[in-house]
Structure 1
Amino acid sequence: MEKYSLRSQLFSCATLAALGLVIIHFAHPQPLAQVLLAGMPWLDQLALGAALGLAIGLVSAVSSLRQPSAEAVQRTTASYARLDLSGWNPAWISLGAGISEELLFRAALQPLIGIWGASLLFLLAHARAYEFHRIDRAALLQASGVLGMALAFGLGFEYIGLLAMMVAHTIIDIVGLLIVRRLAARQGR
């Protein structure tokens, strides 16, 4: 099985970030700097984002590692094991996704289409990776989790700030990709 390279992942992230910046520039009444700097002071955002990311990441890790044979865990592992998760790649992929997805879905789209609209688009963007087309119990559980996470990120963006959600998203993804790497290695993927 051919792996998706770090370069292709980061290119996708750069494309999402560029789209977010274009939307903010042309469709928002506030200047870009005001959109990016809104919320609590940056140190508070860093601390809250890290705490949120670590808490959710820990729950995810314990859940996945306690039930590695669960259908949802197996599907997630199979899907994300297609990424090149060697070396530091989980950190780079997670940083790119955390920044670009929050920039697009929270900073650019949420003020225009609301928290539900942005969260549903976030869910749709992750549909292929989580195989939501199957419409079974595992897919519904995963879709509920992704939608719940998107709504939580949306609320965090509103009440804490963009930086906090970028940090939380990045940490959650790092933990998730490290779990995938570990489980995939056990399965010989």
Structure 2
Amino acid sequence: MLTFTEIQYMLTKNQLTFLSIFTLFGFSGIGYFILSFSDMHSYAAIFEAESPYVDIVYGLVGGSVLAALGLAVLQIPALKKVGEFYQQIFTKIHLTWPDILFYSFCAGVGEEILFRGAIQPFLGIWVTALLFVLLHGYISLKDLPKSIYGFFLVFVAAAFGYAFEWMSIYTAMAAHFVYDVIMFSYLMRNANQQADQNSEGE
């Protein structure tokens, strides 16, 4: 899922790259730390799967469906400003396809290990999904449209949770990865189109 909030207006690409690397390794480390206190759940158990490659395929398909729903939600007139907000961030940072794939991979792996692998066993699917969205800053009493989109993302995060519960962490990772790739690419394309229009207007 996308992790931009208002504070990221100030981020450079280098800072965003650093945060992505921290998400991949730091979140994984935090997940390991949490599970080190548990006698019922182990870090190694997160990665157990009978058919990881099949699970990944299911995750890619499911994440694509969720992303299509997310794009449809952003087309709702009352929520268009939400998409425009994130689009402005892309206009400033100038992301490329390698950037998108890297950021999406780091988020898909690191966040799923922490939230679905380490936190969900203790808090459950829905509480973890709500916590996930709250920590990303998508729900705000001052911004109703973004909060509405945030509640949609709670269902997306819960879907990742069920993917982990019913299949494996690889399903959740793949779904999260492809969801972010599609959303990133959509916003990047719109940002590039807006930049081209502004150039033509000058």
For residues 39 and 183 of structure 2, the distance between their equivalents in structure 1, rounded to whole angstroms, comes to: 33
Q: CA deviation at 1:26?
A: 2.9
Give 1:46-85 correspondences, 5 Å limit: 46-61=56-71, 64=74, 70-79=80-89, 83=93, 85=95
Give distance in 2, aligned partners of 1:27 and 1:88: 38
Is this contact kept in 1: 2:163–2:171, CA < 8 A?
A: yes
Partner of 1:135: 143
The answer to whether structure 1 residue 97 and structure 2 residue 107 are counterparts is: yes
Is 1:32–2:43 an aligned residue pair?
yes
CA separation of 1:101/1:186 partners in 2, compared to 1, >3 Å: closer, same or farther? same
| RMSD of aligned residue pairs (Cα, Å) | 2.6
TM-score, length-scaled by structure 1: 0.83
Contiguous gaps of at least 5 residues in structure 1: none
| Residue equivalent to 2:6 | none
1:149 equivalent to 2:160? Answer no
CA distance in 2, matches of 1:9, 1:154: 23
2:32 is aligned to: 21
Dislocated runs of 4+, deviation >6 Å: none
Over alpha carbons, which structure has the higher Rg?
2
- Please say if 1:3 is aligned against 2:39: no
Aligned length: 184
The structure 2 residue matched to 1:119, chosen from 104, 123, 129, is 129
The letter for the 1-side match of 2:108 is G
Spell out, residue by residue over 1:132-162, the C-alpha distance to the aligned partner (whole angstroms, 9 max, x if none): 34232x1232111111111111111111111
Distance 1:123 1:63, change over 3 A: closer
Which one-letter code corresponds to 2:36 in the other structure? H
Q: Which amino acid is the alignment partner of residue 96 of structure 1?
A: C
Alignment of 1:174-189 (within 5 A): 174-188=181-195
